[in-house]
Structure 1
Amino acid sequence: MTETTLADVERALDRAADLETAEAVSVLRTARQDVRDLATDPDVDEERRAELETRLEQRIREVRERDAYDGGLGAAMNLDEDEAP
């Protein structure tokens, strides 16, 4: 079994941008667990690892709320629409 690297986690983070919500969240959660598992590896740059973990947390929240952002934002910005506030 090969060990996951920070570069592998970064690739998963990038790949999740092109996935549907459920699959993206799954990929990001797996990557988050991988990056957490790397916390005990003395050869891993802890600052980079922690930074990547934070990015994953943020991205998971963004993806989970992506549909909510897409819903009414356009109507609020386009006052000609019937749904505008």
Structure 2
Amino acid sequence: MSDDELEPIAHALDRATGLEDEAALAVLESARDDVHELRTEPAVDETRRQALADRLDQRIREVGEREAYDSELGAAMNPDDEDAP
């Protein structure tokens, strides 16, 4: 394996930006799994691999927070809903 193995992961990170939350999470989590599998590959640049792993973790948190905010906002706008705070 070589540094070229990181290219599909970087592409997945970019592609997830234009997807709905659920689809983005699926793409990001799959890419995170892939990048973690490359930890033991000596031909992969560890600095670049770790940077991608960090970016993936950050994006996964962002999407999760956005989903949480959107669900809370929806509940606040519909107080008759069972999920309202």
Runs (5+) with no aligned partner, structure 1: 72-85
Q: Aligned partners of 1:66 and 1:20: how far apart in 2?
A: 11
Q: Aligned partners of 2:17 and 2:53: how far apart in 1?
A: 16
Percentage identity across paired residues of the two chains: 51
Tell me how large the CA RMSD over aligned residues is.
1.9
User: 1:79 — aligned with what?
Assistant: none
Runs (5+) with no aligned partner, structure 2: 74-85
User: 1:60 — aligned with what?
Assistant: 60
User: 1:48 — aligned with what?
Assistant: 48
Between 1 and 2, higher relative CO (CA 8 Å, sep ≥ 6) is seen in 2
Q: How many residues align?
A: 69
Moved over 3 A (4+): none
The CA deviation string for residues 27-71 of structure 1, in whole angstroms up to 9 with x for no partner, is 0000000000011111000011011100000000001112417x4
Taking structure 2 as the reference length, the TM-score comes to 0.73
Q: How does 1:9-20 map to 2 (within 5 A)?
A: 9-20=9-20
